Amino acid sequence: MIQIAVLGYGTVGSGVVEVINTNHESINKKAGEKINIKYVLDLREFPGDPVEDVLVHDYETIINDPEVQIIVEVMGGVEPAYTFTKRALEAGKCVCTSNKELVARHGLELLEIAREKDINYLFEASCGGGIPIIRPLNSSLTADEIDEISGILNGTTNYILTKMAEENADFEDVLKEAQEKGYAERNPEADVEGYDACRKIAILSSLAFGCHVDYEDIYTEGITKITVEDVKYAKGIGMSIKLLATSKREDGKFYAMVSPVLVGQDSPLYSVNGVFNAIFIHGNVLGDAMFYGSGAGKLPTASAVVGDVVDCAKHLHRNIMMSWSSKRLELMDIKDVEHPFFVRIKGSMTGDIGSVEDVFGKVKTVGVPDVAGEFGFVTAPMSEAAFEEKAAKLPDIITRIRVRA
């Protein structure tokens, strides 16, 4: 029998307990031994909940119990999760987590401790919720040189952008609705400003490229400035706006960024709507592949965590190697990254297109019948720096959105 402890009995923690109890027969068979939840750590009481029988309030009970071989950290945040995780690994206990904030900030250090102790620190649920992506990157795709990872990595923002497009609704109205339905946090900053997606693409990039990508080095822009007018223009040119997290290798150089992007119908990411997530990968041998599914939620995330528990059970005293080295990956200056831009500008298409093309060269114009006093255009691919230089010459520009080429 393999004894485990669950740190945190919130949404994901209760999901982990539910998944193990519901599917215990198949889980035990796949693990090769019975997996038993010996402890659940939480500061709160849960009267009437079966978890009462295993509930503890002091981490020392868990860390000092030699029978506990696997710890599931689903507390969220950096502290005390970091301290608890580090102590567990140093004590020779495997750790599984869904905590992307912790993995993005301290994952490299914690992986190195696990490697030294010949145990495992696994985090499948940290990037795509229930979507399997860490394990494929670490095993199935190891024969490939990964050139690109682009993903819709946050269900909250994808839900908001989808509803804005479907209902021609304002950002603030849809955000309020998302909060009422439980799709958005009361403080949605980490989601809508792109920070959540930034941490996830940092983790995926570190694994895909084998070097450490610091999330603080990644250019990040959220969706708070996207308007209903932007959405109408997107529809007018047969595209949709997505919050994309991208890391890419171009001519031996790497860049990573998170921002709203116009995606065309020829992209598999175009039709990823609602709270669903998707991760697109391009390898030099594989070509294109996409992983799609529920990127968040109690049971999908818990399913991925329990999958890691099973993996740990099968490799209790054998480290599963991950290609995340301490060598820092130098990222291109975002000013040198090239793509087309969609631009909205005050004026009339007939009267002002000449001044636009004097600055940007030949562009594709876009008009929306019920948006007056302005028009839109799409530029040829150019660097961020070149765009900013040109845009400065046209003071009537309202906004710009990058276009996925």
Q: Which residues are catalytic?
A: 200
Question: How far is residue 209 from each of residues 129, 238, 247, 261, measured CA to CA in Å?
Answer: 21, 33, 10, 23
The neighbour count for residue 394, using CB atoms within 10 Å, is: 17
Contacts of 325 (CB under 8 A, 6+ apart): 210, 211, 212
Contact in structure between 247 and 205 (CB atoms under 8 Å):
yes
- Tokens read off for 282: 């391009």
Specify the residue for token string 């099968």. 314
Pick from 50, 288, 267, 19: which is nearest to 147 by CA?
288
- CA Rg value for the chain: 23
Pick from 131, 309, 126, 272: which is nearest to 202 by CA?
126
Contacts of 198 (CB under 8 A, 6+ apart): 215, 218, 220, 245, 258
Residues in a beta bridge with 9: none
Query: With b meaning 16 or more CB within 10 Å and e meaning fewer, what string describes 238-256?
Result: ebbbbbbbbbbbeeeebbb
